[in-house]
Amino acid sequence: MIKTVKGDITQLFAKYLPEDAFNIENDSQISQNLMPNTSEVAVDFVDHYELQLEENIQSLISEEKIPTNNLTNSDGFLLMKNTLHPYYYLKKIEDDQYELQIGTSYRDLEKIGIIHQTEALDPVGLFIVGGDFVKNGIRYHERYRLKLLVKDNPSQDVNTKKIKNEAEVSSEVGSRSQRHKKKNSK
């Protein structure tokens, strides 16, 4: 007789995976802690871009273009935290569309995604997240992911402050003129 057992397997994953493997909130720390005036841009990746990314990263590691950690005697991720993809390009194809390209050099860039953005993009970097890691002497592999960070648009902040200051000035002028009218009417 086979007995079906229901249970929570998250504890099993937590036991074997590094602490930050599933910490999705930690991914946003790249942009907020390292570079406070940046934000992540959503990319519509092409089908099977992970395979191309995996090949690129393996090639870049073997050519020593991406620094790695020595995992023979320690736990952690193979790639250092906040590792940048060295060869990428944002190509503007329409007023509101950009094409994201990556490669192992600038000569062999290939399209991996489209970005729909009406504002001009000022890229900070294309960060690599995930990859191989070791926990308790066992090596695991997590899919590589990319995070594109861009500088926040400062013109929005200036306009907001300008409008706010104009409102303060007009309310001050309004309150002075009201006081002046009250004085004259007495």
Give the HSE-up count for residue 157: Cα atoms under 13 Å, Cβ half-sphere: 5
Does any domain span residue 88? yes
Statement to judge: residues 53 and 144 lie in one domain: yes
Same structural domain, 124 and 93: yes
Q: What is the number of helices (H) and of strands (E) in the chain?
A: 5, 9
Sequence-distant (6+) residues with CB within 8 A of 22 are 13
Please state the domain count of the chain.
2
pLDDT in tens, 101-144: 999 999 999 999 999 998 889 999 999 999 999 998 888 989 99
pLDDT of residue 15: 52
How much of the chain, in percent, has pLDDT values that exceed 90?
45
pLDDT in tens, 128-138: 999 999 998 88
Domain interval for residue 59: 10-152
